[in-house]
Structures are given as structure tokens and as C-alpha cells.
Amino acid sequence: MSLLRFSVQQWCHWSVDSSSGNGLTEPPLPQVPAMQRRRMTSLGKAAMHVAFGIEHAHPDIPLVFASRHGDLSRSISLLEELASGTPVSPTQFGLSVHNSIGALHGILTGHTGPYTAIAAGEETAEQAFHEACGLLDDGAKAVRVVYYDAPPPSPYDCFGLSPTTLHAWACLVQQADKGPAIHLTHGPLEEPPSPDSLAGFFAGNTSRLIRHAGHRAWIWQRHA
Amino acid sequence: MQTLQLEIKQLLINALNLEDITPDEIDPQTPLFGEGLGLDSIDALELGLALQKRYGVSLSPDAAETRDHFSSIAKLAEFVSHARKI
């Protein structure tokens, strides 16, 4: 049983659902030049949008980019091209790696601090906070966590994997004594999962959230 | 040759996702890379692939003349008109 303690200061969220009233399938991204924006997927734009939404006096604090599936549509189109004997697109190849969105963010912002890109199945968000807390223990003043994910495209859409809509969020993570503390721990699957999402927890809808992943339950608890 | 130039401009716009640009806005003499249109090395590879698929032309990335062929739309059209197999 592990227990993480940290505080979350800023919170930025974007989803197709919350923007559907405006008819938007991706966020506008005026910070990125059109010549760079043209190569980004809707998921990449959503991730970049929320990453730009978190500010800190030290712009080179570490970044943790986390996504369960990442830009999977790129890998699928590469595999389809290979299967049909067509030469693969250099652009898709170059941007299909899991850290490409984080790397592009680094190029665009001139960020020279550490950044990492992780994927950990259903518990990707929880592992992102483990990574962030590790960086804080190593002496980072604060860490930006950027989470982004979209439903897996065809032919993987038949597996019913989460999430059901494209969404992204980002936050500023600091040591627990810097603000209201959040405790993150895991245990057996005794209690049912919460109906609310992690985005709802960070938005302040609930002070306790349970997420099931495989054989364990992750328990998020906010302390006043 | 003007028809071929227009065709290559459209191919360039589609292959490189230059959504904000129309064929009229690309001067056939304007440099494609660096200053000018502002394309980069990934674009060069992507454009080479698109030309190969569309016209069956093969381009060696190391050859000095490839740099010349890629210098503008006019040069590309001239090269394609001679080397095309499709």
C-alpha cells in the first residue's frame, strides 16, 4: 500500500463534450504557428491547449505528459500502409512516438527542463502523479501534469476501452504543504467506483473519488 | 506546364496539410524551403513520397540535383514532366 501526498494549484480542462455547444471538435490554438499546427491531431491540440493553461514563475519546471492511448491513430495508419505495401508517411512516423506531443511542446515553448511521457493502462493518471511526486522529491519546485486521451480509433474501437470522448486536462502539482492536500492511495476492490470522473474531482465536484483499475481501487481524497 | 504546376501545388497542399494556403498564393518561383514557403526537412521527405506515389518518379535524397528539383514549384514541374512514369 503506497500513499502519495501532494497539492494541486491550477486546473485546466478541455473536452469535446464541454465544447460541443460551440460545435468545436478541437480547441483553437493561437499560441502555435499555423506551420506547426497543421501537423497536430485534435488530441495533440487538446493536450497543448491545457498545457499552455498552466503557468508558473519558473517556466522550466518539469512536465509529465500522460496518455493511455496517445496519438494511436498515427500508428494505425502506419500499420495500414505497411500492410498494404504502401510507403509510410515520414510525418506520421516522426510523430507516432508517445513523447512526440511533449517534444513538440518543448520546441514551441523553448522548455529546457525535464519532461517525460508515460502510459500505464487504466491507471495512467495515477502513475502520472507518482512520477510528479518523484520529481518533487528530487527537488523540483513544482511539476505540470498534462493528461490527454481519446477513444481508440477503428479497428480498436470494438473493445470498448476508456475514454469515450476526447479530453485533456492539466494541473500544477506541488508538495502537500503548499496548499490543500490531496491523498492518493490504493486498496482492494471493496467499494464501488465513483460515478464522477477524475476531471470532476479536480473541478471540485467531490472530495473523495474511487477509480477501479484491474484488481485494485485507487482512492483520491481531498483534505481541507 | 501551367496545368502540371497547378497539379503539383495541389499535391503539395494536400500532402503537407497546408490548409490555410490556396494554389494561387504559391508563386511558382518562390523557394519552397527555408524562407519562402517555409517548409522543412520532414516536408521534403513527405513531398518526395507524394511525388513518387503520384508520378512514379524516384528522387535520391543525397543527389545534388534533388536539391535543385525541390527549389520551387516551377523546377519541380520541369523535373516531373521529364521523369514521370505515370
* Extents of the domains making up chain A: 3-222
| Cis previous bond, A151, omega within 30 | no
What's the gap in Å between the CA of B81 and the closest CA on chain A? Answer: 23
Please tell me if residue A39 touches chain B, with a CB cutoff of 8 Å: yes
Number of Cβ within 10 Å of residue B47's Cβ equals: 22
Q: What is the mean pLDDT of chain A?
A: 93
Instruction: Quote the cell numbers at residue A221.
Output: 481524497
Q: Given this model, what pLDDT does residue A93 score?
A: 93
Please tell me if residue A94 touches chain B, with a CB cutoff of 8 Å: yes
Q: Into how many domains does chain B fold?
A: 1
Identify all chain A residues contacting B19, using CB atoms and an 8 Å cutoff.
Answer: 38
CATH number for the domain spanning B44: value is 1.10.1200.10
Q: CB B42 to CB A38 under 8 A?
A: no
What's the gap in Å between the CA of A106 and the closest CA on chain B? Answer: 18
**What is the value of ipTM here, to two decimals?**
0.82
Please tell me if residue B54 touches chain A, with a CB cutoff of 8 Å: no
Q: CB B16 to CB A38 under 8 A?
A: yes
Please state which architecture CATH assigns to domain A3-222: 3-Layer(aba) Sandwich (3.40)
Query: pLDDT tens digit string along A141-193?
Result: 999 999 999 999 999 999 888 888 999 999 999 999 998 999 999 999 998 99
Identify all chain A residues contacting B16, using CB atoms and an 8 Å cutoff.
Answer: 38
The pTM of the whole model exceeds 0.95: no
Dihedral pair phi/psi, residue A84, rounded to 5°: -95, 5
Q: Given this model, what pLDDT does residue A160 score?
A: 84
| Three-class secondary structure assignment of B18-77 | CCCCCHHHCCCCCCCECCCCCECHHHHHHHHHHHHHHHCCCCCCCCHHHHHHCCCHHHHH
Q: B76 has which bridge partners? A: none
Q: Given this model, what pLDDT does residue A164 score?
A: 86
Q: A179 has which bridge partners? A: none
